[in-house]
A and B are shown apart, each in its own frame.
Chain A
Amino acid sequence: MSPPLLEVEDLRVRYGAVEAVHGVSFAVNAGEVTTLIGANGAGKSSTLAALSGLVPAGGRIRFDGRDIAGAPPHAIVRAGIVQVPEGREILAQMTVEENLLMGLRGRARSDLDSAYERFPILGERRALLAGSLSGGEQQMLAIARALLARPRLLLLDEPSLGLAPLIVKRVFDTLADLRRQGITMLLVEQNALRALRLADRAYVMELGKLVMRGTGQDLLGDEGVARTYLGG
């Protein structure tokens, strides 16, 4: 069996005197969806931020056999780890097309067509300011932009946050499509039910530590997980 695409060992994230992530270790296999679920403040987003190089972290991060701990964010993107940040983080004052062009980083403009094929709504709105899109459309834009960067590992931070239930379904349908296409994803979610249904492998995070691991199916069937995260 080939080694995991991403191996994280004893990852620690500290904000001043407070340690938010207390030495977590996990792995992401190529072609799989791995999810980190947990309550607000469990350290999920801090973990993703550390993987993207957006916050300094201790521990070891190996991606495709290379040690990437401490690398600057742009080098990590170039290595193939691309994050869809929480709250979309689209560039509101730029047009939809300009946002997508950021993902291309200098490649031929015709590559945008793949994004417009996948998300026709973005094609229709390409000349509009990204800030004028609805929340769901902004999320699609953020995902489309990340895909244009040709990620080998896509990090998704709370893609359902602040969206109406119907739109959440659409976002997860999109993620399921991506999974079928073999795109490797690490998904951080509070919507545990949907995340676990999608995931091949899942971790539960509490107060900066991983407290449970298994396949998505395992955790869906677990009573403790059901009580705490699935509302019954």
Chain B
Amino acid sequence: MDAIVDFFRVYQTTIGVIGINALLALSVWVTLYAGQLTLGNAAFMAVGAYGAALLGMRVGVPFPVGLALGALLSAALALPLGLAVFRLRGVYLAIATIGFGEVVRVVLLTLPFTGKALGLNGIPPVTELWHIYLSLAAVAYVLWRVQGSTVGRAWAAIREDEIAAASQGIAVRRYKLAAFVAGAALAAWAGGLSAHLNFSIEPGDFGFTRAVQILVFAVVGGTPSVAGPIFGATLLTALPEVLRPLKEYRDIFAGLILMGVIIYLPRGLVTLAELRKTRRLQEIGAADVA
């Protein structure tokens, strides 16, 4: 028992960060599932982080209300942005959302009340692990249900072929926009949780590197299912800890593992489970023939 308590005490921050990263990975998964490559979620995370922290520290808004307002603000920004950028596809869409991320970063560096380059310090550390994991469980459950619904099928159809989806009566732009706004709100929620976990935030935390990291969590874990991004975020966040004995070589190994996954499991780590199922089916099939 003591060992478990000790483990949690030592790794409390890492466990919290894993949960937040999983939420972020799910936030980009929503748009990926609809076939849209966007890199704006680090910026939406920043909106949620600054929004929740400032509302809590300066206005005295209760923590959950601050989280919710941050998410709402982020969704309100995502709506007009989405209307503008969803004229674009593929890499052009990705670049446009990177542009948005840079705008947010520079705004945070210049506004008088965001602490500029120093960011915000002394944010009350009110985020508990159960806040993070309750959010994660709720979000994962809702997304899992959405995946099997009319909305989920519409997203999948758009991902496969926009023209075919449109000719089936799917309002393509509306569904893309819905995915984008939902992802933005989710990233902001995760941002708020993260601000209140870490005491301090600064604009550099939410730059391009962060945006790519979120995408990598989702893609390495695998986008076919909700479990993929959670799995990817968990593994890639824990990996540096696990590889600690390798000392200065650990980043090299982390990079090699990443390359291996992308090359051999292009649909992500969750496809490992599918592979096993297929193999079982083949065995059963072989037995039938024999």
Q: Which positions in A face B, CB cutoff 8 Å? A: 52-54, 72-74, 77-78, 82-83, 85, 89-94, 98, 101-103, 105-106, 145, 149
Chain B positions 1 through 34: 1 when the CB is less than 8 Å from some CB of chain A, otherwise 0: 0000000000000000000000000000000000
Give the chain B neighbours of A94 by CB distance below 8 A: 153, 156-157, 160
Q: How distant is B32 from chain A, measured CB to nearest CB, in Å?
A: 14
Instruction: Please tell me if the beta carbons of B167 and A89 are within 8 angstroms of each other in the complex.
Output: yes
Interface residue? B209 (CB, 8 A): no
Instruction: Please tell me if the beta carbons of B169 and A149 are within 8 angstroms of each other in the complex.
Output: yes
Distance, CA A214 to CA B164, complexed state (A): 32
8 Å CB contact of B170 from A85, A92, A93, A102: A102
Q: How distant is A55 from chain B, measured CB to nearest CB, in Å?
A: 10
Instruction: Please tell me if the beta carbons of B167 and A54 are within 8 angstroms of each other in the complex.
Output: yes
Give the chain A neighbours of B170 by CB distance below 8 A: 74, 102
Instruction: Please tell me if the beta carbons of A101 and B164 are within 8 angstroms of each other in the complex.
Output: no
Q: Which of B153, B156, B165, B169 has the most CB of A within 10 A?
A: B169
Give the chain B neighbours of A54 by CB distance below 8 A: 163, 166-167
User: Can you offer 13 A-B residue contacts whose CB atoms are under 8 A?
Assistant: A52-B167, A54-B167, A73-B166, A74-B171, A85-B163, A89-B161, A89-B164, A92-B160, A94-B153, A98-B153, A102-B153, A102-B154, A105-B150
Give the chain B neighbours of A145 by CB distance below 8 A: 168
Distance, CA A89 to CA B157, complexed state (A): 11
Q: How distant is A96 from chain B, measured CB to nearest CB, in Å?
A: 13
8 Å CB contact of A73 from B154, B157, B167: B167
**Majority SS of interface residues in chain A?**
loop
8 Å CB contact of A105 from B164, B169, B172: B169
Distance, CA A103 to CA B172, complexed state (A): 15
Which residues in chain B, 137-157, are within 8 Å of chain A measured between CB atoms? 150, 153-154, 156-157
Q: How distant is B181 from chain A, measured CB to nearest CB, in Å?
A: 19
8 Å CB contact of A91 from B150, B161, B171, B172: B161
Distance, CA A47 to CA B206, complexed state (A): 49
Give the chain B neighbours of A78 by CB distance below 8 A: 169
Distance, CA A82 to CA B170, complexed state (A): 12
Q: How distant is B153 from chain A, measured CB to nearest CB, in Å?
A: 6
Which residues in chain B, 167-184, are within 8 Å of chain A measured between CB atoms? 167-172
Give the chain A neighbours of B164 by CB distance below 8 A: 85, 89-91
The chain A residue with its CB closest to the CB of B159 is A93
The chain B residue with its CB closest to the CB of A78 is B169
**Chain B interface size range:** 10 to 19
Distance, CA A94 to CA B157, complexed state (A): 8
Distance, CA A85 to CA B170, complexed state (A): 15
Give the chain B neighbours of A101 by CB distance below 8 A: 150, 153
Instruction: Please tell me if the beta carbons of B168 and A106 are within 8 angstroms of each other in the complex.
Output: no
Instruction: Please tell me if the beta carbons of A149 and B168 are within 8 angstroms of each other in the complex.
Output: yes
Given the contacts A91-B157, A94-B156, A105-B150, A77 and B163 also touching, CB distance less than 8 Å: no
The chain A residue with its CB closest to the CB of B167 is A83
Give the chain B neighbours of A74 by CB distance below 8 A: 166, 169-172
Q: Which of B160, B164, B167 has the most CB of A within 10 A?
A: B167
Give the chain B neighbours of A91 by CB distance below 8 A: 156-157, 160-161, 164-165
Given the contacts A85-B163, A105-B150, A77 and B168 also touching, CB distance less than 8 Å: yes
Instruction: Please tell me if the beta carbons of A106 and B150 are within 8 angstroms of each other in the complex.
Output: yes
Instruction: Please tell me if the beta carbons of B157 and A103 are within 8 angstroms of each other in the complex.
Output: no
Q: How distant is B276 from chain A, measured CB to nearest CB, in Å?
A: 19
Distance, CA A91 to CA B155, complexed state (A): 12
Q: How distant is B243 from chain A, measured CB to nearest CB, in Å?
A: 35
Distance, CA A145 to CA B150, complexed state (A): 15
Instruction: Please tell me if the beta carbons of A82 and B156 are within 8 angstroms of each other in the complex.
Output: no
8 Å CB contact of A77 from B150, B157, B167: B167
Distance, CA A149 to CA B167, complexed state (A): 11
Excluding A74-B170, A78-B169, 10 further A-B contacts by CB distance (< 8 Å) are A74-B171, A74-B172, A77-B167, A85-B163, A91-B156, A91-B165, A93-B156, A94-B156, A101-B150, A149-B169
Q: Which of A53, A74, A77, A90 has the most CB of B within 10 A?
A: A74
Q: How distant is B17 from chain A, measured CB to nearest CB, in Å?
A: 33
The chain B residue with its CB closest to the CB of A94 is B156
The chain B residue with its CB closest to the CB of A89 is B164
Chain B positions 27 through 62: 1 when the CB is less than 8 Å from some CB of chain A, otherwise 0: 000000000000000000000000000000000000
Distance, CA A98 to CA B149, complexed state (A): 10
Instruction: Please tell me if the beta carbons of B168 and A103 are within 8 angstroms of each other in the complex.
Output: yes
8 Å CB contact of A85 from B153, B154, B167, B172: B167
Q: Report, nearest first, the 5 A-B pairs whose CB atoms are least far apart.
A: A77-B169, A89-B164, A73-B166, A74-B171, A91-B160
Distance, CA A93 to CA B170, complexed state (A): 17
Q: How distant is B10 from chain A, measured CB to nearest CB, in Å?
A: 43
Q: How distant is A211 from chain B, measured CB to nearest CB, in Å?
A: 28
Q: How distant is B267 from chain A, measured CB to nearest CB, in Å?
A: 11
